[in-house]
Amino acid sequence: MAALPLTDSFGRVHDNLRVSVTDRCNIRCFYCMPETDVHFVERREILDFEEIERFVRIAVGLGIRKLRVTGGEPLVRRDLPTLIQRLCAIPGIQDLALTTNGVLLPKLAEPLYRAGLRRINVHLDTLDRQRFLQITRRDEIDKVLEGLALCRQLGYSKIKINAVAVKNLVEPDIVPLARFARENGFEVRYIEFMPLDAQSLWDRSKVLLADDIVAMLSREISPLVPVPDPDPRAPASEYQFADGVGRIGLIASVSRPFCLNCNRLRLTADGHLRYCLFAIEEDNVKTLLRSGAPDDEIAALIRRNVAGKWIGHEINSTRFVAPPRPMYSIGG
């Protein structure tokens, strides 16, 4: 008998799990982590492939159908193609995607493709070398562009570019990124800057809003027409250029929150389950996984976590409290 869907107290069904496989990263985006003295979790605290696979199998039994592998930077996790292969082989998984900063794609795009990965989001805020250096504190833009070209050549089915929209910084990049994507068959996802950075740099004045991005692109390239997305629960609102060349997505967590349709859960690299990117509390799955707890005890914990899920983030309210974990230790 099929398990009851993972439904929270607001009636939202959860079928999307984001799995962070490491909190480590090979670049240092200023809106995510400090340049130095970054505290990473000790390796023994990180879930191993068996533990991740076991958790995912249990979650699939409860209705999870979509997986996204994230980090930190997932490609720094050794033997990642092996994990991708194991996750692809789990019956019931309908969609598997990965988010990366692309620096290691020249080396890993092919093994990941052979392992079964077909959907990839590459984080790239700018095509300008100096601004890339300013944002990431690493001179690695060539590898990211080489990685994108290789993914296209290999035949990844959907290649998206995730661009974080920080105001008074990336305005000059919005249009060039869209042009680049149109020319190469990629889709840009412009992501409003969120209060998840390790140094509490965020404030509302630093958010380049979705409406401003739409206005810029419509003025400079072609008018943008909203496209009804097949899955209204997906975080991005989609637009098609009126001239028919390409689409963009807007992930407007600040100006157009989409929490009422949220279907996502997150497993951190050190084995904690979070019902929301901004959750203050989380459940420790690792202890159960490592204490020999039976599957149904872990399933019960997942159900409890979802049952206790709040209605959504409170960025726009005076009650907002930044989560105790920065972005790199949660995963996108």
Stretch that binds ligand SF4, among 208-216, 244-252, 257-265, 318-326 (CB under 6 A): 257-265
Interface size with ligand SF4, residues (CB under 6 A): 9
Q: Copy the structure tokens of residue 171.
A: 């305005």
Stretch that binds ligand SF4, among 20-28, 38-46, 104-112, 255-263 (CB under 6 A): 255-263
Min dist. Cβ of residue 163 to ligand SF4 (A): 18
Min dist. Cβ of residue 258 to ligand SF4 (A): 5
DSSP secondary structure code for residue 236 in this structure: P
Residue 262 binds ligand SF4 (CB under 6 A): yes
Question: Coil, helix or strand for 195?
Answer: coil
Question: Coil, helix or strand for 252?
Answer: coil
With contact defined as beta carbons under 8 Å apart, do 265 and 16 qualify?
Answer: yes
Residue 180 binds ligand SF4 (CB under 6 A): no
Min dist. Cβ of residue 111 to ligand SF4 (A): 30
Calculate Rg over the CA atoms of the chain: 19
What character string, x for contact with ligand SF4 (CB under 6 A) and - otherwise, covers 211-250?
A: ----------------------------------------
Question: Cα(283)–Cα(288) distance, rounded to whole angstroms?
Answer: 10
The count of other CB atoms within 10 Å of the CB of residue 169 is: 19
Ranges within 269-328 binding ligand SF4 (CB under 6 A): 276-278, 312-313
Query: What's the Cα-to-Cα distance from 232 to each of 19, 206, 237, 270, 317, rounded to whole Å?
Result: 22, 28, 8, 31, 24
Structural element, H or E, at residue 120? strand 119-123
Min dist. Cβ of residue 50 to ligand SF4 (A): 27
Longest dimension (CA), the chain: 59
Q: In this complex, which beta carbon is closest to ligand SF4, that of residue 187 or of residue 192?
A: 192
What is the contact surface with ligand SF4 in residues (CB under 6 A)? 258-259, 262, 264, 276-278, 312-313
